[in-house]
Amino acid sequence: MVQIKTPEQIAKMREAGLVVAAIHAATREAAVPGTSTRDLDQVARKVIAEAGATSNFLGYGGFPATICTSVNEVVVHGIPDDETVLKDGDVISIDCGAIVDGWHGDAAYTAFVGTGHAPELIELSRVTEESMWAGIAAMRNGNRLVDVSRAIETYIRRQPRPATGKYGIIEDYGGHGIGTEMHMDPHLLNYVSRKRGKGPKLVPGFCLAIEPMVSLGTARTEVLEDQWTVITTDGSWSSHWEHSVALTEDGPLVLTAPDGGRAKLAQLGVTAAPDPLA
């Protein structure tokens, strides 16, 4: 059953989303060679504390940190530690969230550490991010959940193939509803599955965390012995982008983007909803 939010509840989610945006800004600045992933977690903890918010990652199913730090072939759910020290040429995806007055925000981004990254890695991140925005632009009143999945997959499939031969759209993980919990119905695939049907109709108050994960090789993953860290089975590097988005009477509002998604959506011919906190 999909939780439909009121405008007042969406405003609370926007508050949580702005905390997540602040975590992104702070960790992106700190993600430099010589920094450990635990250092990045400490940066995130400070932002959450200063905002008077709560982490929705820490303790979730026993997860021991406030952010996921997924480096290179790690797709999602990497656990911050002292041993993983970023070096020149690494790629890191940071996933994090926050709770304000019981309402959740959740978002992820991919960053390049230092310099010397291969062009196909830079293109991988671009393709993943742009596919996310294609999915966000498909959040329109009257569309179905499958239309978001189709927009994500179509964007990726239409891109020139990388030197590795293909982009792997990760199959085992996807987006989700969000609101009074971080993970709620419906589950959002990043590709179209005939078995899943069209899914629910998108109506005002519908909120989704849209998060494509794409590799430079396989779509298959495995979980390491820590029961959290997810890697590609062929060792190919990956990218992960995510935003929490609310559909309103006036269109989509990107809850975890500082500008509500206005600038990027305008490039796609979509008008973002007014920011309830403006």
Phi, psi of 232 (to 5 degrees): -75, 145
Domain boundaries, the chain: 7-268
Q: Which residues are annotated as a binding site for substrate?
A: 77, 183
Q: Which residues are annotated as a binding site?
A: 77, 95, 106, 176, 183, 211, 242
- pLDDT value, residue 139: 98
- pLDDT value, residue 232: 98
Confidence of residue 109 (pLDDT cuts 50, 70, 90): very high
Q: Which two three-digit tokens encode residue 232?
A: 């590609």
- pLDDT value, residue 262: 98
Q: Work out the mean pLDDT of the chain and round it to a whole number.
A: 97
7-268 maps to CATH 3.90.230.10: yes
Answer for the pair 216, 236: CB distance below 8 angstroms, yes or no: yes
Confidence of residue 265 (pLDDT cuts 50, 70, 90): very high
- pLDDT value, residue 107: 98
End-to-end, the C-alpha distance of the chain in Å comes to 31
Give the CA dihedral 133, 134, 137, 138, nearest 10 degrees. -140
Q: Which residues are annotated as a binding site for a divalent metal cation?
A: 95, 106, 176, 211, 242
